[in-house]
Structure 1
């Protein structure tokens, strides 16, 4: 496998803007950074599979994580190579699969896409306490904004971060798309052979069922979301034994699911 794309492509652009003050209707010139959003055509050679609108960085991680969470591959060894090409419409992400996985993928494609449970694990996570303490969540939240380098420049990207059980942010990926950010992170974790029981996931976005399904596919046992979850996300977390904490703020967090399915426990009170 090639190393993850460090990226020499521009990830943001600067634009002239006018600031209008409501109180006195005054207008003042200024400038503003915006994250680059470009079509990324994911191709499992030679067949195009999906076009994602994404930030053009960490694309090899994206290809690996996307392929894994979509159920196209089972391990990193199922990918023989990844290439990035540019064309007039954006970027083409060419993923070369092993012959077995390519034939399986082509057969699935001819048969149509599966149901929404295709990316979920086949069984709930194993029983046993998986503890994420409130102090760890608080620490991760405190450090999250500082770790979002692209968002600090643009104020317009999502992030998915992998945190140690003490709340330290060990790795982070950003993108204009929340699913893309998580796929990039999963790809990075797969590449690094990270144990999913060694930490927890924090996301800056709304927690939809797709986000829970992608986390479950990697074996993550606890997800913390800055925004709120959907009903289906909560149901999936309960089904697959994932601790789900959301609406995470400086002084509190809501626990939507913990250890009643063996998925984990959050113990104690949020310190103020």
Structure 2
């Protein structure tokens, strides 16, 4: 977290027919991702783990490979934060093709693109993996992520993304007011830690939408777990990318794609 910035604040709230009491709310701050001196995107994000966010955003949006991202310079500005990255000149064409310089709301994963082709961009299939989870591990992974959400516990207003490895549990977790930001932060943390995406599952507290599958495919993880349903488009893309989509909630466990990744494929 950038020094001097806090991921939440306390304000006084009035209950109906009662007095006021302090309540914690998450902060959202404009974060500009700057490549080679030019702003590519400005997103509203929780001002924590900004280096992870910038690194992960670069990876999941396809602007760079992990080895092409060097130091991420975090610069606090009067109205927000800049995350500055220098990429090889050969990446300039891709940057120019998808220049995004406006503020993106936290709930929008495709803000700033300027064509339908960019919205439906193809993603590469995830690398081959022998990962198979037992049905019991699905609930265990989601429960483990819930235990690693201090900001959510404080505010009840943020999303989380975690990386689950069988036998080890959730090895990395990140939170943010934006679900896409949380996943980008996780991607950046995984890259920095040298985590093997093929060895585990991305675990989410949010719905499994198209752009979340796109980002997970760019990470290279073969399995996504969530408490919320996927969209139909997300299911089609996950099938093509080789990603198993699995949900687990009070309605039971549902496997939407690549059933072989779950030990008992008859689970419904």
TM-score under structure 1 normalisation? Answer: 0.84
1:12 maps to 8
2:132 maps to 131
Q: List structure 1 runs of 4+ shifted beyond 6 angstroms.
A: none
How much does 1:28 deviate? 2.0
RMSD: 2.5
Deviates more, 1:37-46 or 1:153-162: 37-46
1:29 maps to 20
Inter-partner Cα distance in structure 2 for 1:119 and 1:106: 19
1:141–1:250 CA contact under 8 A, matched in 2: no
2:41–2:99 CA contact under 8 A, matched in 1: no
Inter-partner Cα distance in structure 2 for 1:167 and 1:87: 39
1:82 aligns with 2:72: yes
2:126–2:220 CA contact under 8 A, matched in 1: no
1:45 maps to 36
Structure 1 residues 266, 115: closer, same or farther in 2, change over 3 A?
farther
1:40–1:90 CA contact under 8 A, matched in 2: yes
Q: What SS does the corresponding residue of 1:135 show, helix, strand or coil?
A: helix
How much does 1:251 deviate? 7.3
1:115 maps to 118
1:264 aligns with 2:261: yes
1:224 maps to 225
Inter-partner Cα distance in structure 2 for 1:40 and 1:258: 36
1:119–1:217 CA contact under 8 A, matched in 2: no
Inter-partner Cα distance in structure 2 for 1:124 and 1:42: 26
1:159–1:175 CA contact under 8 A, matched in 2: yes
Flag structure 1 segments of 5+ consecutive residues without an equivalent: 21-25
1:125–1:242 CA contact under 8 A, matched in 2: no
2:161–2:204 CA contact under 8 A, matched in 1: yes
Structure 1 residues 183, 7: closer, same or farther in 2, change over 3 A?
farther
2:148 maps to 147
Structure 1 residues 99, 184: closer, same or farther in 2, change over 3 A?
same
2:185 maps to 184
1:162–1:172 CA contact under 8 A, matched in 2: yes
1:93 aligns with 2:94: no
Structure 1 residues 27, 159: closer, same or farther in 2, change over 3 A?
same
1:202 aligns with 2:192: no
2:8–2:24 CA contact under 8 A, matched in 1: yes
Structure 1 residues 140, 100: closer, same or farther in 2, change over 3 A?
same
How much does 1:66 deviate? 0.2
Flag structure 2 segments of 5+ consecutive residues without an equivalent: 101-113
